[in-house]
Amino acid sequence: MAIELKKGQRADIGLQRLGVGLGWNPNAGASVHAFDLDASAFMLTDAGKLVEDKFFVYYGNQTSPDGGVRFSGDNTTGDGDGDDETLFVELGKLDPRVTEIIFTATIYEHEERKQNFGQVRNSYVRIYDLANGQEICKYELDEDFSIETAIEFGRLYKRGDAWRFEASGIASQGGLGGLLAKYQ
């Protein structure tokens, strides 16, 4: 049975190959423009910065140089049930400098479209076993981020030889550019 995490809670992963599924639903009628949310992964060193720019995985760079993180592809609508975008992680392939991976979602063209996470519902991140699809843990955001345009859903981090997941739920303004400035 999957662990339902609350903000700040952690779970041991115990897997080498995992999927990180992110899902959301736009609030119908909240905007005249379509919503396009984008998942991404920031692969960080002990210093909390990107190993190198190519260790930022998103729709424009779909595989990290070490092959440890791959992006499923860009879902531009968020329609339907289930995960909207997925990042696939193979811990055994990670560059040894990677000690943390931050999983985020940002709103594409948020300024032009006048959109924020207050207009998005049913947002979540879940970790599952790539071998059998079994869900390990899930974190559902339950806050109303009415002015924020970027969310750090959670982080996978190394503690000794083990990997753990922490539900973060950290929201910020500035969209993808703001997150890049934070981690570069």
Beta bridge partners of 163: 158
Would you state the torsion angle of the CA atoms of residues 152, 83, 39, 149, taken in this order, to the nearest 10 degrees?
-60
Strands lying side by side in the sheet with 69-71:
3-5, 135-140, 120-129, 17-26, 85-90, 69-71
Q: Provide the whole-model pTM.
A: 0.91
Q: What is the mean pLDDT of the chain?
A: 89
Question: Which listed CATH number (2.60.60.30, 3.40.50.300, 3.30.420.40, 2.30.42.10) goes with 3-183?
Answer: 2.60.60.30
Distance CA 150, CA 137 (A): 22
Task: Express each pLDDT in 133-181 by its tens digit.
Answer: 999 999 998 777 878 889 999 999 999 989 999 999 999 998 899 999 9
Domain borders along the chain are 3-183
pLDDT score, position 84: 81
Which segments of the chain have a pLDDT < 70? 74-81
